[in-house]
Amino acid sequence: EDQVTQSPEALRLQEGESSSLNCSYTVSGLRGLFWYRQDPGKGPEFLFTLYSAGEEKEKERLKATLTKKESFLHITAPKPEDSATYLCAVWGSSASKIIFGSGTRLSIRP
Amino acid sequence: DAGVIQSPRHEVTEMGQEVTLRCKPISGHNSLFWYRQTMMRGLELLIYFNNNVPIDDSGMPEDRFSAKMPNASFSTLKIQPSEPRDSAVYFCASTLAGGQAYNQPQHFGDGTRLSIL
């Protein structure tokens, strides 16, 4: 059965303090791993899609990386506006649908 | 550009009542998804339409739930009869997919917060 686990559940950082969020997955035949950002009271907003181990993608202060077992979302010198819940999702060849993790709630203090 | 539009934003109703949630996808998108989000279960895919046809409804929890897409610009998710455990935030998302819709970035609406008393 395909599974997605995100850690930590919550992370509080000082502005400028870099860190990483983890997404561990168990899936048969990864077709895609996705990162979304969700602000309170809003729907998720697409950030990245990764397809194969070794792939990396960047957007402003965010960088997503992928291995065969996990993905990391690295945030460099975060700002308070980066505060949000970050969701990871996977789609595998054995699953008929996309599966989301429970998210990491990131809080950046000024 | 208008994003995905959902209505109502909030719905409070009593157990046993029929609930209808509405979604207008982004113009030109051909795939539409309905999700449910709760603290306990996170974000779960309920049903996926492609070109107005239901492709995967394996996430629909039970027969009380039904979804329709009569045309490319409108979809509904109906719960009848509603139960307290249906309380959640329901999201609609759309994308333009040539083949594998799950691999395309999904554009989400801001959701309907449903409370069943």
pLDDT, one tens digit per residue, over A5-63 is 999 999 999 999 999 999 999 988 899 999 999 999 999 999 999 999 999 999 999 99
CB–CB of B89/B6 below 8 Å? no
Confidence of residue A95 (pLDDT cuts 50, 70, 90): low
- What is chain B's mean pLDDT, rounded? 94
Contact residues on chain B for A46, CB-CB shorter than 8 A: 105-107
- Asked whether the beta carbons of residue A46 and residue B111 sit closer than 8 angstroms, the reply is no
- For residue A27, the 8-state DSSP code is -
CB–CB of A4/A90 below 8 Å? yes
Neighbours of B21 (CB within 10 A): 21
pLDDT over 90 at A94, yes or no: no
Q: What is the reported pLDDT for B99?
A: 66
Residue A110, judged by CB atoms within 10 A of its CB (0-12, 13-18, 19+), counts as: exposed
DSSP B57-113: -TT--STTEEEEEEETTEEEEEESS--GGG-EEEEEEEE--SS-GGGSPPEE---EE
CB–CB of B100/A98 below 8 Å? no
For an interface test with B, the pick among A5, A38, A97 (most B C-beta atoms closer than 10 Å) comes out as A97
pLDDT over 90 at B33, yes or no: yes
- Asked whether the beta carbons of residue A31 and residue B102 sit closer than 8 angstroms, the reply is yes
Contact residues on chain B for A91, CB-CB shorter than 8 A: 102-103
Average pLDDT in the A95-109 region?
91
* Selected residues 63-102 of chain A with any CB under 8 Å from a CB in chain B: 87, 89, 91, 96-102
Q: What is the reported pLDDT for B101?
A: 74
Q: How far apart are CA B57 and CA B48, in angstroms?
A: 7
- Asked whether the beta carbons of residue B42 and residue A103 sit closer than 8 angstroms, the reply is yes
Q: What is the reported pLDDT for B84?
A: 97
